């Protein structure tokens, strides 16, 4: 992991500090390129992050640009980037796949963290393996799970036949 920030709900400037934590990690990790662009994982459909979690639905990456004025953790989290203001639930990826940034809601606060080189991260690989071991739900995208399996298999060292 490259960086992690947790902001407690008790903080009187909670959303402001959460936005600042997101921006600090997004810029210092290299998530945002010189044109202020990155990839944002969006749920397929128009439901909120809370509904998306219940559905465990397929996601799609969308190229986006950070505007001069933004409020990811407040107004953004109130729409498809979370459950409500200050309760985010999203993933972002650098255009070159070098940084993966996540935000989520916890019992005592909300956090944002960044992972450099996610394809080589033991935590990411472990999570993908767990995803494949979990029972398949009726609304799940089986093709996506198959692609995860193929990708993980391609990363396994090949046994040399002698």
If one compares 60 and 8, the residue with the highest pLDDT of the two is 8
**Digit-coded pLDDT (tens) for 54-81:** 555 556 788 999 999 999 999 999 988 8
Instruction: Please tell me the pTM assigned to this model.
Output: 0.72
Half-sphere exposure for 50 (CA within 13 Å, toward CB)? 8
- Within the chain, where are the H helices? 14-29, 49-55, 122-133, 142-154
Average pLDDT over residues 122-131: 77
Task: Report residue 133: phi and psi, to 5°.
Answer: -80, -20
* Cα distance between residue 101 and residue 84, in whole Å: 19
**Digit-coded pLDDT (tens) for 14-32:** 999 999 999 999 999 999 9
Contacts 24+ apart (CB under 8 A), 45-49: 46/80, 47/80, 48/79, 48/80, 48/82, 48/83, 49/77, 49/80, 49/81, 49/82, 49/83, 49/88, 49/89, 49/90
Average pLDDT over residues 46-53: 55
């Amino acid at each position: 992991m490259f960086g992690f920030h947790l902001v407690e709900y008790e903080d009187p400037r909670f959303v402001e500090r959460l936005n600042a934590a997101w921006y600090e990690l997004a810029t210092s990790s290299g998530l945002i390129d010189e044109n202020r662009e990155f990839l944002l994982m969006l749920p397929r459909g128009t439901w909120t992050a809370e509904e998306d979690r219940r559905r465990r639905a397929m996601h799609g990456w969308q190229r986006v640009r950070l505007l001069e004025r933004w409020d990811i953790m407040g107004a953004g989290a109130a729409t498809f980037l979370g459950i409500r203001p200050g309760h985010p639930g999203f993933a972002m990826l650098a255009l070159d796949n070098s940084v993966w940034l996540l935000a989520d809601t916890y019992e005592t606060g909300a956090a944002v963290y960044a992972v450099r080189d996610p394809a080589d991260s033991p935590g990411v690989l472990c999570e993908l393996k767990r995803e494949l071991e979990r029972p398949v739900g009726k609304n799940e995208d089986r093709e996506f799970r198959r692609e995860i399996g193929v990708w993980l298999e391609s990363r396994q060292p090949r046994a040399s036949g002698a």
